[in-house]
Amino acid sequence: MPEGDSLRRAARRLQVLAGERVEVETPHPRAAAKHLAERLDGLRLETVEAVGKHLLLRFEGGLVLRSHLRMSGRWRVDPRGMPRSGRPWLVLRGARHEGVLWNGPVLELVRDLGAAGRLGPDILDDPPALGAMLQRLRSVPQDREVGDALLDQRLVAGIGNLWKAESLWEARVSPWRALADVGDTELIAVLEAAHRLMRGSVEGERGTRRVYRRAGRACRRCGTVVRSYGQGEAARTAYWCPGCQRGGREPVS
Ligand SMILES: [Zn+2]
């Protein structure tokens, strides 16, 4: 059984990923069912620490992934891209290393309560606090691109790169439009779409991806070729259809 010391060793090995934006995958079906990759993919891993029998991985935006290893769980750190057989629970892939969790029976995402005050209203709240979200989105400089603002966890908590792309597509709003240029009705439509799609996902609906990771393929609504391009300071990839999500300072390819 992993004891405190082995947890501390795991935490020490995982330090190579601290401070990096990580790609997150959940190859094991039981882990995939928790929808962790959708929430965490592309976020910066801020700290890793062993607390009691838990390993706490703290991500930007106040999300904390708690891993309890029980009898069988084991964290490894491998060079990025190392071939492996079998399906680990979780892969956190940085620029040069990847942290891999095998057999992690307890894995849950919690909120860092210390950071709660800094977080926007949670998009998964039912019903979502759309008015409060709108207020926060209107409190920042309005030349900011809507696609960038949607990922700012201080404005709206919980929208990751996947649901940003899908909800903007649903509402026919280009990620490149400045907030100033997006009306309240349109912003609410984007937030409602994000809420609906994400609640569906939490409840196990297997929705069809409309634009996310579909660059170069035809838009399912209008047939225009879907594009992708890095957006915001972190250059996280935005996906959009230039045919039915028009306007804004669309990047030249
Ligand atoms: Zn389209």
Lowest mean pLDDT across 34-43, 48-57, 73-82: 48-57
Average per-residue pLDDT for the chain: 88
Among 82, 29, 55, 169, which residue's Cα sits nearest to residue 150? 169
- Give the β-pairing of 63-68 and 74-79: unpaired
Distance between Cα 168 and ligand 1 center (Å): 11
Helix, strand and coil percent figures for the chain, each rounded to 5 = 30, 25, 45
Cα Rg, the chain, nearest whole Å:
19
Distance between Cα 64 and ligand 1 center (Å): 36
Distance between Cα 48 and ligand 1 center (Å): 41
Lowest mean pLDDT across 44-53, 116-125, 222-231: 116-125
- For residues 205-217, give the mean pLDDT: 91
Partnered with residue 221 across adjacent β-strands are none
Instruction: Answer whether residue 114 shows pLDDT above 60.
Output: no
Dist. CA 173–CA 167, nearest whole Å: 9
Distance between Cα 243 and ligand 1 center (Å): 5
Instruction: Answer whether residue 117 shows pLDDT above 60.
Output: no
Distance between Cα 222 and ligand 1 center (Å): 4
Confidence (pLDDT) at 2: 44
Give the pLDDT band (50/70/90) at residue 33.
Answer: confident
Distance between Cα 162 and ligand 1 center (Å): 17
